[in-house]
Amino acid sequence: MTVPEKKKILRKWLMAMQAGDLQAIQSLQTKDCTWILPGSKKLPWAGSWTGMARQKLFLKQIKNSVEFEKLEFREFIGEGAHITILGQEVARSKTRGKRWNVTFSWVFKIKRGKVARWEAFENTEIIASCF
């Protein structure tokens, strides 16, 4: 599978995430796909999320605690099985109403035509200060 094909799969997965389409997300990732989002215990979604049952809980945590204003994917960089996305996130904490604006680097592994891993790198200290 070529890097452009992997980027196309990832774009579909991101669209499904933004739409909250659980069926599409599940069809575009491996059964043992792991999402890794580091951060303090103030962030209800921080941690490692493996398998769709856990990932549904993650999505519920996000929906209940974050209001996104902007999620921009600026650059997709591919090498081998990995695609890295550089982007910007502007969002607000639903609990305190505080807003953050951070850049991020998300690293994905594509395996056999499906998303197998997502690891986020962003300034979680800024985000945690909003909760």
Give the model confidence (pLDDT) of 5-58 as tens digits. 999 999 999 999 998 899 999 999 999 999 999 998 889 899 999 999 999 999
Domain residue limits, the chain? 3-128
CATH of domain 3-128: 3.10.450.50
Nearest to 15 by CA among 116, 130, 7, 2: 7
pLDDT (0 to 100) of residue 104: 98
Q: Are the C-beta atoms of 44 and 65 separated by less than 8 Å?
A: yes
CA distance 59 to 24: 14
So what's the pLDDT on residue 20? 86
**Is the pTM for the entire model greater than 0.85?**
yes
